[in-house]
């Protein structure tokens, strides 16, 4: 199978997994094969509680996965800089967040990653909130070297499709939807759902969608076609429907999250799922549709607290790592051991942090960070 055929089949399976979640392990296995990884997971991390979970995984060792969440997640040296700097839709590697020499000297690497043979890893950021993020993570063996530009490019082709599938999967919130009966299954969905053809003609709408069209505050039915009340949104949706008619890959980043604003200022978001390939094709054929459109209220998009802390006090990535380690672990010697750097280096970073935050005690730093992490702060 050549690369073009391989990525085409993979993208189709990603979208099928939005409706049938049992397909996610297969998708993760195929992702590893495509970009040269040895293990992969669809995971989330809570930056405030320093907790997380694998929703689905492939190739990981259950013993080490359990160990990660019980012990090593809290001392993972690149979680903090990833929370502060990674952007939704970005593809990054471990060494974008921490210098290789620091990572290889860390306790996390020596006790958790190295015994498994792991070196670099690739992260596709799918979603991010004020307290957490979701990502597809692909681990690479140390012997395969660092992630290169070609690997990033290949992963970049998949990111918009992963994002769309995961967003739609969250909206549907069912374990499995039979594609052929898509419309019947989703008629009771709280979110508005439309099936449309390549020309934006509405071929099916659930009850919530009919109510939305009646109100005409965000979307409207114009001569039987789905249209945005805003001309720019209308063009975005039409472009997406036309692209969906030509297959999964052509949709790309179009329609991942089309922003919609009602007349009263309430924000919504539309996600477009192509129906022209894979198991979804039977649904598209049954209803003469090329895409399903899901519309729901948008979540409040706020910067992560660590982004705010780093920006407010102009902290470098290394200083931010030391700050969070001081808060979570404690003393200088313990922080040095966990981060794999010398005690004098920790002390130097700590002095810079004190100066920038106008504090002089570690207890003050704990209070400062706690204030920013509180969901009621600022």
Averaged pLDDT for residues 38-54: 83
Task: Report pLDDT for 149.
Answer: 93
Task: Report pLDDT for 375.
Answer: 43
**57: enclosing H helix or E strand:** strand 51-58
User: Which residues lie across from 138 on neighbouring strands?
Assistant: 40, 122
pLDDT single digits (tens) 147-198:
999 999 999 999 989 988 888 877 665 445 555 556 565 665 667 889 898 8
CATH architecture of 305-373: Orthogonal Bundle (1.10)
How far apart are alpha carbons 131 and 114 in whole angstroms? 29
Is the fold of 3-172 the same as that of 305-373?
Answer: no
Domain boundaries, the chain: 3-172, 179-297, 305-373
Could you tell me which CATH class the domain 3-172 is placed in? Answer: alpha beta
Evaluate if residue 301 carries a pLDDT over 70: no
pLDDT class of 378 with cuts at 50, 70, 90: very low
At 36, give phi and psi (nearest 5°): 80, 45
Over the range 158-191, which residues count as b (16 or more CB within 10 Å of their CB) and which as e? bbbbbbbbbbbbebbeeeebebbebbebbeebeb
pTM above 0.75, yes or no: no
Task: Report pLDDT for 377.
Answer: 40
pLDDT single digits (tens) 96-151:
988 898 899 999 999 999 999 999 999 998 887 766 788 999 999 999 888 999 99
pLDDT single digits (tens) 311-353:
889 998 888 888 888 887 778 888 888 788 888 998 999 999 9
Which range among 72-81, 92-101, 276-285 shows the weakest confidence by mean pLDDT?
A: 276-285
Averaged pLDDT for residues 299-307: 64
Could you tell me which CATH class the domain 179-297 is placed in? Answer: alpha beta
Contact 197, 286 (CB under 8 A): no
């Amino acid at each position: 199978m050549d690369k073009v055929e391989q990525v085409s089949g993979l993208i189709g399976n990603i979208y099928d997994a939005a409706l049938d979640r049992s397909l996610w392990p297969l998708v993760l296995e195929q992702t590893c094969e495509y970009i040269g990884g040895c293990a992969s997971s669809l995971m989330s991390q809570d930056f405030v509680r320093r907790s997380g979970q694998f929703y689905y995984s492939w190739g990981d060792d259950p013993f080490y996965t359990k160990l990660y969440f019980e012990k090593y997640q809290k001392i993972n040296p690149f979680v903090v800089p990833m929370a502060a700097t990674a952007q939704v839709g970005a593809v990054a590697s471990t060494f974008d967040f921490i210098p290789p020499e620091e990572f290889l000297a860390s306790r996390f690497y020596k006790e958790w990653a190295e015994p498994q043979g792991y070196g670099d890893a690739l992260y596709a950021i799918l979603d991010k909130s004020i307290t957490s993020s979701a990502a597809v993570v692909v681990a690479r063996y140390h012997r395969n070297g660092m992630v290169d530009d070609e690997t990033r490019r290949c992963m970049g082709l998949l990111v918009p499709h992963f994002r769309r599938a995961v967003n739609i999967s969250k909206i549907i919130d069912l374990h499995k939807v039979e594609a052929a009966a898509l419309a019947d299954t989703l008629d009771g969905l709280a979110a508005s759902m439309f099936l449309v053809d390549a020309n934006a003609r509405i071929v099916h709408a659930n009850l919530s969608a009919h109510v939305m069209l009646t109100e005409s505050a965000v979307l409207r039915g114009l001569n039987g076609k789905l249209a945005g009340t805003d001309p720019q949104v209308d063009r975005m949706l039409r472009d997406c429907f036309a692209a969906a008619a030509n297959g999964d890959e052509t949709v790309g980043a179009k329609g991942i999250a089309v922003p919609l604003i009602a007349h009263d200022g309430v924000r919504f978001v539309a996600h477009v799922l192509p129906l022209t390939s894979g198991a979804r094709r039977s649904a598209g054929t049954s209803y003469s549709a090329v895409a399903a459109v899901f519309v729901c209220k948008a979540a409040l998009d706020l910067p992560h607290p660590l982004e705010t802390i780093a920006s407010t006090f102009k902290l470098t990535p290394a200083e931010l790592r030391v700050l969070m380690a001081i808060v979570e672990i404690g003393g200088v010697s313990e922080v040095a051991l966990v981060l794999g750097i010398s005690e004098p280096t920790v002390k130097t970073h700590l002095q810079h942090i004190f100066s920038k935050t106008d504090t002089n005690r570690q207890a003050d730093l704990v209070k400062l960070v706690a204030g920013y992490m509180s969901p009621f702060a600022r």
